[in-house]
Amino acid sequence: MLAEPSEGVLGAEGAALHDLLASGRPAGSASSNAVDGLAPPPALATFGEKPEARGVGMRWSNAPLSVQLRSPLRPLQTLTRLSQTAAPPLPDPHPAAAQPAPPPLPPASAERVALFDLDLTLLDVNTGRLWVEKEFRDGKVPFMIYALAVYWFAKYAAGLGIDAGEVAREAMALYGGQMEAAMVTEVEAFWAAACEARVRPGARAALAAHRAAGERCVLCTASWQHVAACAVRSLALDGAICSVIHVGPDGRFTGGVSDAYGEGKLQRTAEWAAREGVDLRNCTFYTDSFSDATLLAAVGTPVAVNPDAKLAALAAKRGWRAEDWGAAPVGEAKQRYSACSALFFLR
């Protein structure tokens, strides 16, 4: 038994500790493992066995604390283990290599750029229609495809819109597997014979004005890349945004196409502007077609050139500038397809 030291020797706190050691429970407790009906605190653990976690607590010993203190082990551990704070995780000895950040896009500048549609804007003809007519005459396009193309062009001319993806898939189905080099040669001859002389007088004047102002002049067309390349060379343009026919590593057409019609043109133009660091709000866009309404709304200076009926109405409603660039001085300008010409497949 422990000797009974006086309170004067231990003091009030020492006497209370002595009572705790002697009884194994706090004064006034009903038992050694309950206080006022509550479960004992989870701070003490039994010596000689590993504590088992119960929530955040430890196993409570029924043995008197004075018995536990007789253990030759380190008794103060029972009084000082107050929590089970987890040790901080060790650093990864093999950290993953940091991935380099992608190069930032060039910031948008105050540079002004003039964007020009091709068919029925810079030119007074639709190159797609002329191409289909040539291919039909050469026996490369069956009659049903030709008739369907005429219908598509009639809808386009009326500003009614077409499914550009469907048109592109139908057209490219005819050329899948053919060599691109042969197409380039054929398109260059076609451009020289049917398109080069069809530039509107107003188009040349607009190009000259923008160049005099130090602005880039960029083609922005739904025509595919081979026709666009001919237009860029012929008109000395500074680049092109256009539809792209996919070519495989063997130099043959795969049958795939990324079109730049309607919403596709807006997407391709936005991508080009991001690469070039150009703000579309500093751009002027010239077009004849209602299908380009979304891009017209995105640029700072939209201009309707010899517009179709729906674009003319939209331009008047929104206060957009409208211009008549006239017809090419060579021969008679090709007229837009009407419903009757679409029905009877007439030129």
Query: What is the per-residue DSSP string for 268-286?
Result: HHHHHHHHHTB-GGGEEEE
Residue 29, SS3 per DSSP: coil
User: Which residue carries 């660039």 as its tokens?
Assistant: 325
Alpha helices in 191-321 (DSSP H): 201-212, 225-235, 263-276, 293-298, 309-318
Question: CA–CA distance from 153 to each of 147, 163, 335 (Å)?
Answer: 10, 11, 12
3-state helix, strand, coil split of the chain in percent (to 5) is 45, 15, 40
CB 199 within 8 A of CB 328: yes
Q: How far apart are CA 50 and CA 64, in angstroms?
A: 18
Helix axes 180-190, 127-137, angle to 10 degrees: 110
Q: Is position 292 annotated as part of the catalytic site?
A: no
Task: Read off φ and ψ for residue 194, nearest 5 degrees.
Answer: -115, -15
Identify which of 93, 325, 72, 71 has the alpha carbon closest to the alpha carbon of residue 209. 325
One-letter amino acid at 39 equals A
- Residue 5 is given by DSSP the state -
Beta strands 283-287 and 253-258: pairing type? Answer: unpaired
Residue of 19, 36, 92, 117 with catalytic role: 117
Q: Is position 279 annotated as part of the catalytic site?
A: no
Residue of 19, 36, 92, 119 with catalytic role: 119
Q: How far apart are CA 325 and CA 287, in angstroms?
A: 11
The catalytic residue positions are: 117, 119
